[in-house]
């Protein structure tokens, strides 16, 4: 038996010689380098690395070669395919990362860009706060009571035990409608709604009355001639100051969070007896600025407490003027400024912001409904 004739080479296809393979690799590498997009790269892959590529066609010829030539050609084609595959993969990585950064850039949203959108505005925070405060009471079974902004002087003052010579009744404080003896005023407080409620409702009475009130104050950082109060009134058998304190504490924690500390400070109002002022412990210094000149507090003036509203047990004279027998019924009442509540709750320091109607102020509170 004779050994295989290694030098025997019946046909050596031109496509398998070194130059031809190098040329195929070069043309593949050129096409890959030229591919500017992933689609173009796909085309290059089809043309140079698929079953229809010149290199694959040449590869098919290998089978017909004698063993020695087969190995050599196989190695050459294999190396060529490896080079092309590597180039394709490298280019794909490059093009993919180019595409990703382009997409990131194209899809960037400039949130600071001015828009053409028509402003819808939003509800004023005083309105929404009044509703929130009212809701706290509605949840406890209270009803909302209302009264007119143009009010009888008798209901605004006399019926509430505010005598005709009381300083609050002067032209300095009160807007009279018509002349000073017209008997008609712009209500200076929501307290006349207490009277209206007591005169028209069945006992027991549990009402809150949010509303706009008027006083002849100049507009400055802490005053405005038109502001808002929320009034509360409970008349029932056996109502005590304890009920008042508990109710106000509940409102305070609903408004300012459960950590808020309140105190009742003795005071005087003609329509309540005894009367008190409800103070909130300063939520900035928590009372720690009292007597500490090193750490003054601007929010409470180092007093440790901030005045929130007035309250007390309904004066028996007031009950009587509404036709209620004070020997059977007792009641508590309170009234606080809604602007003050908004100032404490949201750190608004200037009343101008609340009255000037700048939509940027309103919108800062969001689109509350």
Q: Which stretch binds ligand DAH (CB under 6 A): 84-92, 119-127, 204-212, 330-338?
A: 330-338
Shortest distance in whole angstroms from residue 271 CB to ligand DAH: 6
Grouping H, G, I as helix, E, B as strand and the rest as coil, residue 300 is coil
Rule CB under 6 A: say whether 353 interacts with ligand DAH.
no
Q: Judged by CB under 6 A, which of 234, 335, 353, 354 binds ligand DAH?
A: 335
Q: Judged by CB under 6 A, which of 125, 147, 211, 312 binds ligand DAH?
A: 312
Residue closer to ligand DAH (CB basis): 304 or 310: 310
Residue 82 has, within 13 A of its CA and on its CB side, a CA count of: 6
Helices (H) and strands (E) in the chain, counts: 12, 9
Rule CB under 6 A: say whether 210 interacts with ligand DAH.
no
Rule CB under 6 A: say whether 53 interacts with ligand DAH.
no
Rule CB under 6 A: say whether 159 interacts with ligand DAH.
no
307: phi then psi, degrees, rounded to nearest 5: -75, 130
Distances (CA, A) of 354 to 8, 175, 252: 103, 21, 22
Q: What is the DSSP string of 117-147?
A: PPP-----HHHHHHHHHHHHHHTTT-EE---
Q: Which stretch binds ligand DAH (CB under 6 A): 62-70, 246-254, 282-290, 331-339?
A: 331-339
Residue closer to ligand DAH (CB basis): 162 or 348: 162
Question: Residue for token digits 């009264």?
Answer: 147
Residue closer to ligand DAH (CB basis): 40 or 307: 307
Contact positions with ligand DAH (CB under 6 A) in 281-310 = 310
Rule CB under 6 A: say whether 125 interacts with ligand DAH.
no
Q: Judged by CB under 6 A, which of 137, 308, 334, 344 binds ligand DAH?
A: 334
What does the H/E/C string look like for 230-249?
EEEEEEECCCCHHHHHHHHH
Question: With contact defined as beta carbons under 8 Å apart, do 229 and 335 qualify?
Answer: yes
Question: With contact defined as beta carbons under 8 Å apart, do 216 and 168 qualify?
Answer: no
Rule CB under 6 A: say whether 224 interacts with ligand DAH.
no
Residue closer to ligand DAH (CB basis): 25 or 311: 311
Rounded to whole angstroms, the Cα distance separating 314 from 270 reads 9
Total residues interacting with ligand DAH, rule: CB under 6 A: 11
Rule CB under 6 A: say whether 333 interacts with ligand DAH.
yes
Rounded to whole angstroms, the Cα distance separating 127 from 134 reads 11
Taking CB under 6 A as the rule, which mask of x and - marks residues 236-275 in contact with ligand DAH?
A: ---------------------------------x--x---
> What sign does the dihedral 74-76-81-82 (CA atoms) show?
positive
Rule CB under 6 A: say whether 231 interacts with ligand DAH.
yes
Taking CB under 6 A as the rule, which mask of x and - marks residues 170-199 in contact with ligand DAH?
A: -------------------x-x--------
The one-character DSSP state at 315 is P
Rule CB under 6 A: say whether 147 interacts with ligand DAH.
no
Rule CB under 6 A: say whether 58 interacts with ligand DAH.
no
Q: Which stretch binds ligand DAH (CB under 6 A): 104-112, 120-128, 293-301, 332-340?
A: 332-340
Rounded to whole angstroms, the Cα distance separating 91 from 29 reads 10
Rule CB under 6 A: say whether 311 interacts with ligand DAH.
yes
Q: What percent helix, strand, coil does the chain show, rounded to 5? A: 45, 20, 40
Tell me, rounded to whole angstroms, the distance of Cα 363 from its chain centroid: 10
Q: Which two tokens stand for residue 146?
A: 């209302």
Residues that bind ligand DAH (CB under 6 A): 189, 191, 231, 269, 272, 310-312, 333-335
């Amino acid at each position: 038996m004779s050994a295989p004739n290694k030098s025997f080479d019946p046909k050596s296809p031109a496509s398998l010689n070194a130059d031809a393979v190098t040329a195929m690799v070069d043309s593949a590498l050129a096409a890959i380098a030229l591919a500017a997009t992933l689609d173009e790269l796909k085309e290059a892959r089809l043309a140079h690395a698929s079953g229809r590529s010149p290199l694959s066609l040449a590869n098919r010829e290998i089978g017909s070669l004698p063993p020695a030539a087969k190995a050599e050609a196989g190695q050459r084609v294999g190396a060529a395919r490896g080079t092309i595959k590597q180039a394709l993969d490298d280019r794909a990585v490059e093009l993919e990362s180019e595409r990703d950064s382009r997409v990131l850039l194209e899809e960037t949203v400039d949130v600071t860009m001015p828009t053409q959108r028509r402003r819808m505005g939003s509800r004023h925070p005083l309105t929404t706060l009044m509703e929130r405060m009212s809701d706290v009471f509605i949840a406890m079974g209270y009803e909302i009571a209302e009264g007119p902004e143009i009010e009888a002087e008798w209901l605004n003052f006399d019926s509430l035990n505010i005598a005709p010579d009381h300083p609050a009744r002067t032209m300095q404080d009160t807007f009279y409608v018509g002349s000073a003896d017209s008997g008609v005023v712009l209500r200076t407080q929501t307290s006349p709604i207490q009277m209206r409620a007591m005169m028209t409702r069945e006992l027991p009475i549990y009402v809150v009355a949010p509303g706009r009130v008027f006083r002849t104050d100049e507009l400055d950082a802490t005053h405005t001639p038109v502001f808002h109060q929320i009034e509360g009134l409970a008349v029932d058998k056996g109502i005590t100051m304890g009920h008042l304190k508990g109710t106000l504490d509940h409102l305070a924690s609903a408004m300012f969070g459960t950590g808020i500390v309140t105190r009742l400070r003795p005071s005087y109002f003609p329509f309540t007896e005894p009367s008190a002022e409800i103070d909130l412990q300063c939520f900035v210094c928590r009372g720690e600025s009292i007597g500490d000149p090193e750490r003054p507090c601007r929010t409470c003036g180092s007093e440790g407490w901030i005045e929130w509203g007035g309250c007390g047990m309904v004066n028996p004279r007031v009950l009587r003027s509404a036709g209620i027998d004070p020997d059977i019924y007792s009641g508590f009442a309170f009234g606080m400024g809604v602007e003050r509540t908004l100032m404490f709750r949201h750190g608004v320091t200037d009343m101008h912001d609340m009255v000037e109607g700048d939509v940027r102020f309103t919108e800062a509170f969001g689109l509350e409904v």
